[in-house]
Chains A and B, each alone.
Chain A
Amino acid sequence: MKFGVVVFPGTWSDDDFHYVISEVLRQPVKLVWHRDRDLSGIDCVILPGGFAYGDYLRAGAVAARSPVMEELTEFAARGGLVLGSCNGFQILCEARLLPGALMRNECLHNRCQSVHLVTERTDTPFTSGLRAGQVLTMPISHGEGKYVADPDTLARLVARRQVVFRYATADGEVAEAANPNGSMDSIAGVVNEGGTVLGMMPHPERAAEMAMGSTDGLSLLSSLLGTLVEDGGFVRR
């Protein structure tokens, strides 16, 4: 599986993703500059964390209108896999590739800490290697990660099982005390209707080797290796 990691001015997790994919997963990966429109040969596009375009106007707003995103929209429409983490999730929402929006943390603090996530879905390419209800531990680092959507959108997300991760306690219980940013319904990650575009505030690339304290993030990327996308769907190998 070939990965592309998109680099905007102000992106900072690009090298981390590149390292994890090339050195830990041992998969081919290339960096894609935001002005490039060529995603040919890439199976999975990563939108990493950072402050693309300084997050001017709104987090991810300017990045969502850059040239690579036009191509990425077509790539996603063809069933291509897209993973946006942190700023990448904000960009995917701003680009309307995912529903909802991310706004200032309710506590007003930047949250840089380890969190627990409960896995709500295992039938996506990103979570096929996980168990239902599995609790993952990985870091968050953001000031604008409160997921919001209007009531109808939220109801539709839940009905269509588009919520993939929720903030939870170490035991996997979804509780307000375990919600670090005030996200509605404790939402930490959502997919599009086809399950092929995932946005999440936590950083899987920062939980990819034992030296980082957790390898739970790696299990998302390794799930992808067992996945073959065909005709907009996917099968487990």
Chain B
Amino acid sequence: MITVRVLVRLKPGILDVQGAAVKRALGGLGFADLEDLRIGKVVDLAIDANGEEHARARVDEMCRKLLANPILEDYTIEVVGDLAAPRSGR
């Protein structure tokens, strides 16, 4: 089992109104040094894949088909770990 983390973010040119509201709230709490804040999504997946590259390719396909909307969002794929138990050889 390979665990993969997908980060989905609004594209740079897309106005992030939620991020702007949270940034204002942090400003109100005294964080005057805050210059920018944008909100994205984390999707953690566990996939039965044949190695890291295979896992990455499968998750990339998932992103293109559903997890991200290419009109609004960019995504990055990070392989977090390989949870495969050592093969028993039986």
Contact = CB atoms under 8 A, between A and B. Distances in A.
Whether A associates with B in a native complex is: yes
Interface of A: 57-58, 61-62, 65, 94, 100-101, 103-108, 148-150
Contact of A150 (B65, B67, B69, B71): B71
Interface of B: 14-15, 17-18, 21, 65-67, 69, 71-72
Contacts, number: 29
A108 B69 CA distance: 20
A61 B69 contact: yes
Nearest to A94: B69
Nearest to B72: A101
B15 A108 contact: no
A166 B75 CA distance: 32
A129 B78 CA distance: 54
A148 B15 CA distance: 10
9 contacts: A58-B69, A61-B66, A62-B66, A100-B71, A104-B18, A106-B17, A107-B17, A108-B21, A150-B71
A149 B21 contact: no
List of 10 A-B pairs having minimum Cβ-Cβ separation, nearest first: A101-B71, A101-B72, A108-B17, A104-B17, A101-B69, A106-B17, A58-B69, A108-B21, A103-B72, A65-B66
B40 to A, nearest CB: 12
A57 B67 contact: yes
Contacts of B71: 100-101, 148-150
Given A61-B66, A65-B66, A101-B69, 10 more contacts: A57-B66, A61-B69, A101-B72, A103-B14, A103-B72, A105-B17, A106-B17, A108-B17, A108-B18, A149-B71
A58 B70 CA distance: 12
A105 B15 CA distance: 11
Contacts of A58: 69
Contacts of B21: 108
A103 B18 CA distance: 11
Contacts of A101: 69, 71-72
Contacts of B69: 58, 61, 94, 101
Contacts of A107: 17
B53 to A, nearest CB: 26
A157 to B, nearest CB: 13
A107 B17 CA distance: 8
B66 A148 contact: no
Nearest to B73: A58
Contacts of B67: 57
Nearest to A105: B17
A101 B15 CA distance: 13
B64 to A, nearest CB: 12
